[in-house]
């Protein structure tokens, strides 16, 4: 029998802390559902004290997830733990994950506390968390730069206080695999069977996955990771890479496995990318666009003769179809074929969402020769975002630049009333966004702008992601837009960001973390 390692997914918490990766509550619920289908053991749904929006998302996820454990992060602060306990209260399986820094540099400069004071706070945090749930995890933030005798002292204290899982994170991606493995083995041997040892590795030196696997080889029984490796700075260890390394190399890892349904890896990757607007790099292991692409004639010849000459597992193993379309969708396709394709891709839409998706599909298919799976996925992501359509683009017209200025005329609807106006700008995009500002009455400041082709071909669907601040309010919000025409997609993305801002406006109160940082 295989030894099963628990997968603790923190895409919705640490992953969301990636700059530009914020998600609304509906998007978080959708991703949580996919994580449960993926077979994730523990879903860290957020940081309950961080904002009303975070608390609401955790609370709603707790009500719909019934197989995975739902977890909230909390500093070793009573208010944090109380918010976490209340947010996960409705979950069938629930966990509180509390933490405090243990490295000399953090204790001296950030916490301004002595080691004895840190241990006391850790014990009190675990005991208080136990009043909300029996499943408490404790993390030694910056464990890899902490002193081993102190790690053993605080770990022993929190286990006695009731912690069942001890996380030893490489918070700043400082560790080297051999060094980290020996560190984990030392603590595993010290703890014995009193608690599960978990690891949470950041990727600052590109070693997050390697460190995680080294830890597993040295007795860690839980790995904390994210879809597509999202996370603070350079990101976290990628779930898909850890899982597939264990799956493909049982000869090396001695039969260690996970509960992950690997057929759901690629759908999970695509969903997270669509929601956050952060696509994995083309050469990203496992889920990158080029992970199963072959351009070299030697490679192509080998793959045609026997796929395993250059591929160590099949794309279909992770739920990715590279054999081409069995059912080609185009402008003449009907609702039955479209709905069948949606189900093949692993999505379930309501009747109203199906109608809206079909309408957008027809508009786009009328301009394209062929629709691809990625086009369909983006359409589904667009119609299931559930951001209220306060403003909607009806028409956009661009005039050629004259004397260095471009002109854009647009018609948008608001409360079933259509308004038309025009504006000039320093370039086409500037003109488009300015006319939307004039029509909506809100002034936006563009922070980031990305365009990418969703699929292949000269008529590829353009997916535009904008990051903007409206009326000076922070934080910035993301908006997504789809269209064959890049300028139209840009206008839709900007309006989508405005609508998201209006829907989230009341929940934009962020905690001041003061002495502690708000992440592991």
Residue 291 included in any domain: no
pLDDT (0 to 100) of residue 464: 87
Residue 59 included in any domain: yes
Q: Name the residue among 56, 89, 63 with its Cα closest to residue 503.
A: 56
pLDDT (0 to 100) of residue 484: 83
Last residue of a domain, one of 225, 260, 276: 276
pLDDT (0 to 100) of residue 327: 45
Pair 396, 263 in one domain: no
Residue 301 included in any domain: no
Q: CATH number for the domain including 500?
A: 3.30.160.270
* pLDDT per position as a tens digit, 277-324: 899 998 999 999 888 876 555 665 676 677 778 788 888 899 987 654
pLDDT (0 to 100) of residue 336: 72
Residue 238 · residue 272 · CB < 8 Å: no
Q: CATH number for the domain including 141?
A: 3.20.20.70
Residue 364 included in any domain: no
Percent of the chain with pLDDT over 90: 61
Write out the two tokens for 428: 């086409």
Pair 271, 395 in one domain: no
Phi, psi torsion values for 313, nearest 5 degrees: -155, 160
Element (H, E) at 402: strand 391-402
Residue 305 included in any domain: no
pLDDT (0 to 100) of residue 325: 37
Pair 396, 248 in one domain: no
Residue 47 included in any domain: yes
Residue 520 · residue 202 · CB < 8 Å: no
Strand partners, 96: 72, 136
Residue 342 included in any domain: no
Last residue of a domain, one of 249, 276, 303: 276
Which residues, 6+ apart, have CB-to-CB distance to 205 below 8 Å? Answer: 173, 174, 176
Residue 410 included in any domain: yes
Last residue of a domain, one of 225, 242, 276: 276
* pLDDT per position as a tens digit, 473-500: 777 888 888 888 899 999 999 998 898 8
pLDDT (0 to 100) of residue 516: 43
The parts of the chain modelled with pLDDT lower than 70 are 1, 294-301, 303-304, 322-330, 332-333, 369-370, 401-404, 506-520
Expressed as residue numbers, the domain containing 42 is 3-276
Write out the two tokens for 61: 């996820």
Pair 266, 396 in one domain: no
Pair 167, 24 in one domain: yes
Domain count along the chain: 2
């Amino acid at each position: 029998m295989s030894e099963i390692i628990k997968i603790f997914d923190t895409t919705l918490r640490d992953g969301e802390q990636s700059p530009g990766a914020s998600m609304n509550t509906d998007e978080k619920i959708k991703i949580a559902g996919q994580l449960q289908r993926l077979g994730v053991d523990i879903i860290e749904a957020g940081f309950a004290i961080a904002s009303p929006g975070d608390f609401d998302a955790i609370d709603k996820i707790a009500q719909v997830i019934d197989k995975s454990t739902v977890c909230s992060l909390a500093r070793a602060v009573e208010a944090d733990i109380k918010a976490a306990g209340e947010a996960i209260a409705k979950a069938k399986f629930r966990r509180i994950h509390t933490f405090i820094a243990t490295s000399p540099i953090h204790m001296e400069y950030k916490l301004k506390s002595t080691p004895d004071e840190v241990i006391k706070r850790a014990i009190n945090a675990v005991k208080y968390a136990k009043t909300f749930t029996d499943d408490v995890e404790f993390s030694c933030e910056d464990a890899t730069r902490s002193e081993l005798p102190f790690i053993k002292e605080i770990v022993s204290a929190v286990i006695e206080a009731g912690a069942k899982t001890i996380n030893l994170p490489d918070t700043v991606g400082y560790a080297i695999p051999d060094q980290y493995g020996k560190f984990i083995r030392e603590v595993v041997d010290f703890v014995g069977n009193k608690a599960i040892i978990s690891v949470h590795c950041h990727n600052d030196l590109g070693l997050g996955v390697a460190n995680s696997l080294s830890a597993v080889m040295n007795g860690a029984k839980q790995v904390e990771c994210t879809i597509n490796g999202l996370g603070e700075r350079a990101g976290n260890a990628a779930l898909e890479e850890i899982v597939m390394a264990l799956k493909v190399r049982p000869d090396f890892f001695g039969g260690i496995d996970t509960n992950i349904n690997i057929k759901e890896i690629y759908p999970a990757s695509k969903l997270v990318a669509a929601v956050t607007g952060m696509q994995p790099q083309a050469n990203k292991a496992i889920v990158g666009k080029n992970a199963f692409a072959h351009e070299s004639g030697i490679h192509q010849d080998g793959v045609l003769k026997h796929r395993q000459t250059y591929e160590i597992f099949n794309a279909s193993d992770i739920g990715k179809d590279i054999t081409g379309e069995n059912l080609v969708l185009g402008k003449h396709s009907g609702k039955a074929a479209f709905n069948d394709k949606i189900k093949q891709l692993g999505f379930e839409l309501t009747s109203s969402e199906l109608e809206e998706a079909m309408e957008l599909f027809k508009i786009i298919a009328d301009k394209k020769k062929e629709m691809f799976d990625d086009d369909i996925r983006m359409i589904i992501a667009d119609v299931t975002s559930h951001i209220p359509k306060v403003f909607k683009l009806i028409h956009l017209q661009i005039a050629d630049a004259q004397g260095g200025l471009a002109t854009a005329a647009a018609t948008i609807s608001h409360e079933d009333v259509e308004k038309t106006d025009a504006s000039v700008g320093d370039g086409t995009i500037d003109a488009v966004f300015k006319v939307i500002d004039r029509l909506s009455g809100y002034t936006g400041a563009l922070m980031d702008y990305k365009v990418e082709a969703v699929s292949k071909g000269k008529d590829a669907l353009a997916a535009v992601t904008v990051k903007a601040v409206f009326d000076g309010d922070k934080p910035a919000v993301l908006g997504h837009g789809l269209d064959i025409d890049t300028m139209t997609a840009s206008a839709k993305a900007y309006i989508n960001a405005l609508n998201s801002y209006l829907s989230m406006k009341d929940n934009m109160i962020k905690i001041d973390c003061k002495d502690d940082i708000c992440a592991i």
